[in-house]
Amino acid sequence: MGQIQSSGNNSTFYTFGGAASPLVNPSSQPPLKFSSKYGENCQILRDGSQAKRVESFCRGILFSDRPVECGERVCIRLTELSIRWSGVLRLGFTSHNPLTIQNLPKYACPDLTGKPGYWAKALLERYAESNALIHYYFSPNGDVHFGVNGRDKGVFFSGVDTRQPLWCLIDLYGNCTAIELVDMRRSLNNFARSDETTEQDNTNQDEPTQVIDNENIVNRLDELTLNDPNSN
């Protein structure tokens, strides 16, 4: 369940893999929030940045409050998990403005993905850990990439029509009961500051050796000057 896509073409699914990848095409838009259109079992909290499913395992469909730019990472932190159900998040995009959608079904997959303009797939359960950071984005050719805790895992699914505006489509399903939208740009800035601090600490650890080397060089220069017959 959850791997059907509404593209008219045959979609190709790829194995996961790959290494770390830097952020490409960072968005100039404000941070993503959840749309005011959402499933009946959901609550939207903290000024639209958090969502919680309050009962059952379904009717947790969510959307972003604005279209997502090509290459813009949608970053989600898993803040609450359950062990009562099976399955986890469904992630994808839609070309339909959420505010124009009349009725939301129980499931994103296959209830929405069986219709034109909706694309989504289920996240593998092994990636659903407490506080895990999941990101995904689409490329110009319609491939959707995803990653976990800052590391890209490869192509998630394909076949998205990128010729029109696309909103995030998330199904807060199964054992994922609460999530938070994270501003990836802020997180990357924090990582950068952390890396700078680590680099500075490493540099400071090397300084005593450098000072000793410099002292030796100065002493050698002094000796050469004292022994230089032209120094007088």
Closest to 87 measured CA to CA, from 45, 58, 51, 112: 58
Distance CA 159, CA 167 (A): 15
Is the model's pLDDT at 55 over the cut of 90? yes
| pLDDT 10s digits, 179-190 | 999 997 765 555
Single-letter amino acid, residue 69: E
* pLDDT (average), residues 26-35: 85
CA angle, residues 160, 162, 163, in degrees to nearest 5: 135
Instruction: With a cut of 60, say whether residue 151 has pLDDT above it.
Output: yes
Q: Is the per-residue pLDDT at 119 higher than 80?
A: yes
CA-nearest of 61, 109, 106, 75 to 51 is 61
* pLDDT tens, position by position, 176-224: 999 999 997 765 555 445 445 545 555 455 444 343 344 443 344 344 3
The larger pLDDT score, comparing residue 147 to residue 17, is at 147
Return d(Cα 177, Cα 170) in angstroms, integer. 12
pLDDT confidence of residue 126:
96
141-to-101, 123, 137 alpha-carbon distances in Å: 26, 21, 12
Q: What's the mean pLDDT in 163-167?
A: 97
- One-character DSSP codes across 145-200: EEEETTEEEEEEE----TTS--EEEEE--TTEEEEEEE-HHHHHHHHHHHHHHHHH
Percent of the chain exceeding pLDDT 70 equals 68
Instruction: Name the DSSP letter for residue 202.
Output: H
pLDDT score recorded for residue 31:
95
| Residues sharing a CB contact under 8 Å with residue 2, sequence separation 6 or more, in sequence order | 87, 90, 107, 108, 109, 110, 113, 120, 121, 122, 171, 173
Write down the mean pLDDT value for the chain: 79
Residue 68 has pLDDT above 70, yes or no: yes
pLDDT exceeds 70 at position 7: no
Q: How far apart are CA 181 and CA 64, in angstroms?
A: 9
pLDDT value, residue 109: 98
Burial string for 99-133 (b: 16+ CB within 10 Å, else e) reads: eeeeebebbbbbbbbeeebbbbbbbeeebbeeebb
